[in-house]
Amino acid sequence: MLYYVTTNPGKIREARQYLGDETITDYDYDYPEIQSESMKAIAAEGARDAYRKLGEPVVVDDSGLFVNGLEGFPGPYSSYVEEKLGIERVWNLVEPLDDRTASFRCVMAYCDGDPFEASPDPVDKDDRAAAAASAGESLEEDEPLAVKLFVGTVRGEIVAPRGDGGFGFDPIFEHDDSTFAELTSEEKNALSHRGRALAKFAEWYETKDS
Ligand code: IMP
């Protein structure tokens, strides 16, 4: 069984729908998010942490909204901004801008404790080496657990909130004339950042041990 690590019911609903109930189960664990501008580094370290806690194969999903007219903000700070400002105020910030285009990005990180071939060199090695150096420690080369990353992106535009579905920033993210909150989760999965990352993950996972 594969554990999908999230405290967000919206993410697990979409992942279950994509991968099937028999493939994944919910692991309601709030992994500590490292301080980093890199969503890949955040997801990779989250997956290692969750795997160390659970000892079973895990997938972590770190997502963010990048508004082009705000130089990519809130990006890795998306959950903080949603919690502190709320989506209505994010719309108020973006409304006066000339460029309201944006993208959602999802990074999925898989870890099962095995040093699988397909894993690239841990993407966050430099970040962790720098953090270790500033703490007067050195990074043990044989310690990092292998993590495989899958990235999905979708472009759209920030609009006034519309729709009752989805979660998070969905009501203010428009793609092809509908906000994500106006789509069913099947429709959202077919074109969203998460759906695209899930498609890449599912394809790799199916052939992983063959
Ligand atoms: P995190 O990946 O849980 O850190 O999520 C970052 C922020 O993006 C949170 O505020 C989520 O609610 C929001 N978010 C993540 N995925 C989606 C999505 O698919 N649609 C809308 N908002 C999302």
| DSSP string computed for 81-137 | HHHHT-HHHHHHHHTT-S--EEEEEEEEEEE-SS--TTPPSPTTHHHHHHHHHHTT-
Best residue among 7, 28, 65, 187 to mutate for probing ligand 1's pocket (most ligand atoms within 8 Å of CB) is 65
pLDDT at 138: 60
CA of 168 to the centre of ligand 1 (A): 5
> Percentage of residues in the chain with pLDDT exceeding 90?
68
What tokens does 192 get? 């969203």
| Residues in Cβ contact with 7 at an 8 Å cutoff, skipping those fewer than 6 apart | 28, 29, 30
| Residues in Cβ contact with 148 at an 8 Å cutoff, skipping those fewer than 6 apart | 109, 110, 111, 116, 118, 119, 120, 204
In angstroms, rounded to a whole number, what is the distance separating the alpha carbons of residues 12 and 44? Answer: 18
In angstroms, rounded to a whole number, what is the distance separating the alpha carbons of residues 57 and 109? Answer: 11
Which atom number of ligand 1 is nearest to the Cα of residue 62?
A: 2
Q: For ligand 1, atom 7, name the residue with the nearest CA.
A: 79
Beta carbon of 78 within 6 Å of any ligand 1 atom:
yes
Tens-place pLDDT, residues 36-55: 888 998 999 999 999 999 99
Task: Indicate the pLDDT class of residue 114, thresholds 50, 70 and 90.
Answer: confident
Residue 89, domain extent: 3-207
Instruction: Count structural domains, the chain.
Output: 1
Contact assessment for residue 104 and residue 78, using Cβ atoms and an 8 Å cutoff: no
Environment class of residue 78 by beta-carbon count within 10 Å: exposed (0-12), middle (13-18) or buried (19+)? buried
Assess whether pLDDT exceeds 80 at residue 32: yes
CA of 178 to the centre of ligand 1 (A): 18
What tokens does 205 get? 């996972």
pLDDT at 129: 58
pLDDT at 118: 45
pLDDT at 43: 93
CATH of the domain at 163: 3.90.950.10
Task: Indicate the pLDDT class of residue 58, thresholds 50, 70 and 90.
Answer: very high
Assess whether pLDDT exceeds 60 at residue 125: no
Task: Indicate the pLDDT class of residue 137, thresholds 50, 70 and 90.
Answer: low
Beta carbon of 152 within 6 Å of any ligand 1 atom:
no
Tens-place pLDDT, residues 161-194: 999 999 999 999 999 999 999 999 999 999 999 9
CA of 76 to the centre of ligand 1 (A): 10
User: First vs last Cα of the chain: how many Å apart?
Assistant: 17
